[in-house]
């Protein structure tokens, strides 16, 4: 599936709903993106751009047991498998943009407050924020580094992991898989690491 530039532009400011297990179903690991990109908004599937390495990294890490090709939109079966594993996805900012740099610091801070409320409500074991720069802006933690954070986040273990965007040239699918495996293990999602 492909989109023209004009088609993608029509999704500016669209909102993509969170992908979460049904209420009452445990949420073990909540991934937090910066905000939806236009391709994500067009397909209503988080991390959907063809250059994004999120799902390939999760598969390589053993967090997922079947590949997901989100570029055309996740199927209902894909979503059901994802959430049945206790996985969820939300964003700091809900509106879609062509670039994360279009967001204001105020939007990211508001998103941080919304994330706190979601974590209090759904009680994930682990929260993994994908993008250290956005995390620093949203929570005023200028010195934060990638990896486990020293303080819990509304009762959850908090990790900052690298952004899987293809624009993040410092990372590969293999390095992202290693980075995502650590919070997944902390959440008890990998064999031999059950809590």
Model confidence pLDDT, tens digit, residues 111-131: 999 999 999 999 999 999 999
For the question of whether the overall pTM of this predicted structure is more than 0.85, the answer is yes
**So what's the architecture of 25-186 in CATH?**
3-Layer(aba) Sandwich (3.40)
Q: Return the pLDDT at 1.
A: 63
Tokens of 20: 């979460």
Do the strands 87-91 and 29-33 form a parallel or antiparallel pair, or are they unpaired?
Answer: parallel
Look at residue 194 in the predicted model and tell me its pLDDT: 39
pLDDT in the model for residue 195: 38
Alpha-carbon gap, residue 185 to 72, rounded angstroms: 29
Between residues 21 and 169, the one the model is more confident about: 21
User: How many residues does this entry show for the chain?
Assistant: 195
Mean pLDDT along residues 31-47: 95
- pLDDT level of residue 193 (50, 70, 90 thresholds): very low
- What percent of the chain shows pLDDT beyond 90? 85
Whether 192 has a pLDDT exceeding 60, the answer reads no
> What is the model's pLDDT at position 2?
81
Specify the pLDDT at position 168: 77
Rounded distance, CA 69 to CA 166, Å?
15
Q: What is the mean pLDDT of the chain?
A: 93
Average pLDDT over every residue of 58-71: 93
- Where exactly are the structural domains of the chain? 25-186
* CA–CA gap between residue 59 and residue 75 (Å, rounded): 17
Give, for 126, the enclosing helix (H) or strand (E). Answer: strand 126-130
pLDDT at 147 over 90: yes
Whether residue 15 is predicted with pLDDT greater than 70 in this model: the reply is yes
Report the alpha-carbon distance of residue 88 to residue 146 in Å, rounded.
20
Radius of gyration of the CA atoms of the chain, in A: 15
């Amino acid at each position: 599936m492909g989109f023209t530039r004009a088609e993608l532009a029509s999704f500016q400011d669209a909102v993509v709903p969170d992908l979460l297990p049904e209420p009452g179903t445990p949420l073990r690991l909540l991934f937090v993106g910066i905000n939806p990109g236009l391709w994500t908004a067009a397909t209503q599937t988080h991390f959907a751009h063809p250059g994004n390495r999120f799902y390939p990294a999760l598969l390589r890490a053993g967090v997922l047991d079947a590949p997901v090709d989100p570029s055309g939109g996740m199927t209902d079966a894909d979503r059901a498998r994802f959430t049945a594993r206790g996985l969820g996805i939300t964003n700091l900012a809900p509106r879609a943009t062509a670039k994360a740099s279009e967001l204001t610091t105020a939007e990211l801070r508001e998103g941080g407050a919304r994330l706190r409320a979601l974590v209090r409500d759904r009680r994930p074991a682990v929260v993994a924020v994908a993008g250290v720069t956005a995390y620093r802006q949203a929570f005023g933690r200028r010195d934060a580094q990638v990896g486990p954070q020293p303080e819990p986040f509304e009762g959850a273990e908090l990790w900052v992991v690298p952004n899987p965007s293809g624009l993040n040239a410092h990372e590969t699918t293999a390095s992202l898989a290693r980075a995502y495996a650590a919070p997944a293990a902390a959440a008890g999602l990998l064999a031999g690491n059950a809590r």
